[in-house]
Structure 1
Amino acid sequence: MIRGKRVLLKPNAGRVAAPGSGVTTHPEVVAAAIDVFREAGADVAIGESPIIGVQVQEAFETAGITSVAAQRDCPLIDMDRRRFVEVAVPDGRVLHSLRVCPEVLEFDFVVSIPVMKMHMHTGVTLAVKNMKGCLWRRSKVKLHMLPPIAGSDEKPIDVAIADMSSILRPSLAIIDGTVGMEGLGPSAGQAKPVDVVVASADAFAADAVACQLMGTDAGRIPHLRMGAERGFGVIDLARMRITPDNWRDWISPFAPPPENLTIQFPNITVLDDNSCSACQSTLLLFLKRHKDRIFDYFPSQSTINIAIGKGHTDLPQGTLCIGNCTANLREMGIFVPGCPPVGSQILSAVSGEPAVDGRDNRMDDEKP
């Protein structure tokens, strides 16, 4: 079945982060996948389309993927280098077409290899959502920029991921739980060693088992529930054959994301209305690095309001407005342009000092 076929491995390498951080797929898992498919006679390559502002070569290098690929003479593909293919989304509720990286359509098999992570807006991010990294360049942002759904409490991002799954479902899911991420995932949480890998030909089934291992239930994750209801996969454990029989011995509940970021950052109120993960990550990494220093620039304020997202119609005076989506309310305080801006731009805006390094959306910039 595999011999002579072209297999595209799609890890989670959309950010610049070191192995073991819980942010990107561990290189040992990627190496094992290369070896298994090579031994089966497949032609293997690794591809990624990272978040805005990240160069895929740097992401692969920092994650340790470049090294294991070079050792095995396995090609690395920047899936943003070629022009997209516009693909219709059949029966989409909020999406009717998507710009897809062409490699996804050219390979015989696509393998989703995500990290086992919590996610502040979608509950978890696993094999199904990892396929969002197959969308071309800024097309990924489209899923975060959708208007509210009339007459529904469903979040547009959840419905969009379910819509996306009608055209982007991997042939195989391999979920890397060697080191996952709990709390403020997908990039600003805490690394959590679990030492487990979940694999299935049904990405929804793999995600459902991973959810159990993380201490939650796939039925509580809207994009998984909606996708299963539309027939894209199975999340009912009773319909699965799961091995080994004692798989529940590996259950290790993950801390969920806090409902409000002020829990983690006292006296800082984050006003988030329909933001995307790029701005979320930028802001969270900035706050983790500068949460103490930032009050030096707001001496008259006991609480700092920070806004991200495109849904705001009004903000308190003096709000720090992050990203182009808040431009309509720039007069309410300090506006930091960018899609997304990086941490040095935010610091420059509040301090009045020139930005030093425009690349500080790197995960290792959390270090002092």
Structure 2
Amino acid sequence: MEKNEIHVMYGTDSRKMTYEMLENIQLIKDLNAKMHIGIKPNLVVAKPANEGATTSPLIVEGVIQYLQNHGCMNISIMEGSWVGDNTKRAFKVCGYEDLARKYNVPLYDLKEDSSVIRKVGDLELNVCQKPLQVDFLINIPVLKAHCQTLMTCALKNLKGCIPDKEKRRFHALGLTKPIGYLAKAIPMGLIIVDGMAGDLTFEEGGNPVQMDRILLGKDPVLMDTYAASLLGYTKEEIEYIEVAESMGVGSGNLSAAKIQEYNVGLKKSSAVKPSNKVRYLTKKVIAESACSACYGSLVHALQRLDDKDMLKKIKQTIYIGQDFQGKELQGIGIGRCTNKCTRYVVGCPPTAADIIKVLESV
């Protein structure tokens, strides 16, 4: 399989689809039985895949079945959930504990992993060691929206391979540049995108859109460019794609891509459209270097208030993000970084319930 290829399969049986796609591309030609193969899903929160935030264990099961049937037995699953959530709980809730027992595959919580510094361009990135120690890394993100970067797919999924402290620093750096650089520090052999039912509103899930497709490729820049096009964005709008391309991670030239589709008769639409709900919900919000977990809790809280027809009652500005540390501001602060605001919600990150409680009281 060449780097400029993208394979897309439509259907509803994601385990079977994954296995068939791996057979189609003859992945085994890139592997040998002695290799340590790492699988990196997206388990950002402890929610089942049908809510639109996490990688389906059925897709991972299809990968494991293919590998083991071809003699590759040294397989591990690794992930670090976002700041404020628990990876082990995500493994359990998302069905990965059962999967690990069934196929005798170890689970590694990267929050507990040691890390090393990798120099990329003018940045030093603190990266977990286990993803660097495998011989072949299979990156399995979810195609979904992101409240700060518009979308998340192959490139951003690697953020689970850095320590929590580094995740916070990525936000302080504005996300775009460090995400674009990270794929240079963590090489991947294959990308399998879970496009079955991603949340096209924000990354925490709860508003899944049934898309019934799996994408497969080797170039994360090309894959993210193609994924962006499915959501109606150009690669220029997803800024970290061009950053990664400029670092030599891959090519975003869709016109030169070879796109192979399977089961086209099951294709529901040529594109899927994310809503503008997050922009509507956060029209009173000023965010500066906000962490995803904190921002996700805020969006979730604002959604609940909108459900109760209370969003329009919020007249004050809402501040969120690390850049507001130590600043005295008139308005409502979200999280520890905004404790100098007139009112603020405690926590790092605060829960949506705590945010709702404060916003309802103003």
Shared fold (TM-score greater than 0.5)? yes
2:340 pairs with 1:310: no
Alpha carbons of structure 1 residues 213 and 2: separation in structure 2 relative to 1, 3 Å = farther
How far apart are residue 12 of structure 1 and its match? 0.4
**Residue 52 (structure 1) aligned with residue 83 (structure 2):** yes
Gapped regions of structure 2 (runs ≥ 5): 1-30
CA pair 180-259 structure 1, distance change in 2 beyond 3 A: closer
Shift of 1:219: 3.8
Map 1:148-297 onto structure 2 (within 5 A): 156-183=174-201, 185-187=202-204, 190-244=207-261, 250-258=269-277, 260=279, 263-264=280-281, 269-291=284-306
Question: Which residue pairs with 1:75 in the alignment?
Answer: 106
Quick one: structure 1 residues 294 and 325, their matched pair in 2 at CA, closer, same or farther if it must change by over 3 Å? farther
Native 8 Å contact 1:188 1:285 kept in 2? no
Call closer, same or farther: CA 1:60–1:28 in 2, change over 3 Å: same
Deviation of the 1:6 alpha carbon: 0.7
Higher helix fraction (1 or 2): 2
What is aligned with 2:332? 320
Q: Tell me the alpha carbon deviations over residues 327-366 of structure 1, each in whole angstroms, 9 at most, x when there is no partner.
A: 3x33xx21223221223443565689xxxxxxxxxxxxxx
1:35 equivalent in alignment to 2:62: no
Post-superposition CA distance 1:196-254 (Å, at most 9, x none) = 11111112222222223333333432111221133210111222222138979552222
Tell me the secondary structure at the aligned position of residue 151 of structure 2: strand
Which structure is higher in RCO with an 8 Å CA cutoff and minimum separation 6? 2
Post-superposition CA distance 1:2-35 (Å, at most 9, x none): 3221111110002111221110011111111111
SS at match of 2:303: helix
Aligned to 1:129: 156
The answer to whether the 8 A contact 2:78-2:110 is kept is yes
One-letter amino acid of the counterpart of residue 253, structure 1: V
Q: Deviations over 1:149-206 (max 9, x none)?
A: xxxxxxx3212211222212321111000111212x2115621111111111112222
Query: Is contact 2:49–2:55 with CA below 8 Å preserved after alignment?
Result: yes
Q: What secondary structure sits across from 2:258 in the alignment?
A: coil
Where does the alignment leave 5 or more consecutive residues of structure 1 unmatched? 147-155, 353-368
The whole-number CA distance in structure 2 between the counterparts of 1:29 and 1:46 is 13
CA distance in 1, matches of 2:204, 2:32: 34
Q: Report the 3-state secondary structure (helix = DSSP H, G, I; strand = E; otherwise coil) of the residue aligned with 1:208.
A: helix
Question: Are the structure 2 counterparts of residues 169 and 335 from structure 1 closer, same or farther at C-alpha, using a change threshold of 3 Å?
Answer: same
Choose from 60, 65, 87 the match for 2:96.
65
User: Which whole-Å CA distance do the structure 2 matches of 1:344 and 1:259 have between them?
Assistant: 18
Return the letter of the residue paired with 2:118.
Answer: V
How many Å separate the matches in 2 of 1:118 and 1:292? Answer: 20
Amino acid at match of 1:18: P
Residue 238 of structure 2 aligns with an amino acid whose one-letter code is I
- Name the residue aligned to 1:113: 140
Q: The residue matched to 1:61 in structure 2 has which SS?
A: helix
Residues 85-142 of structure 1: CA deviation (Å, up to 9, x unaligned): 22222x13xxx21221110111111111010112222121001110011001221111
Q: TM-score w.r.t. structure 1 length? A: 0.80
TM norm structure 2:
0.81
Over the residues paired in the alignment, what is the CA RMSD in angstroms?
Answer: 2.8
Specify the alignment match of 1:365 in structure 2. Answer: none
Report SS of the residue matched to 1:220.
coil
Sequence identity of aligned pairs in percent?
26
Amino acid at match of 1:171: G
- Residue 315 of structure 1: how far off its partner (Å): 7.2
User: Are the structure 2 counterparts of residues 258 and 70 from structure 1 closer, same or farther at C-alpha, using a change threshold of 3 Å?
Assistant: same
Does residue 343 of the first structure (1) align with residue 349 of the second (2)?
Answer: no
Q: Give the letter for the 2:191 counterpart.
A: A
CA distance in 2, matches of 1:188, 1:270: 20
- After superposition, the Cα gap between the structure-2 partners of 1:247 and 1:200, relative to the gap in structure 1 and judged at 3 Å, is farther
| Residue of structure 2 in register with 1:153 after alignment | none
User: 2:19 corresponds to which residue?
Assistant: none
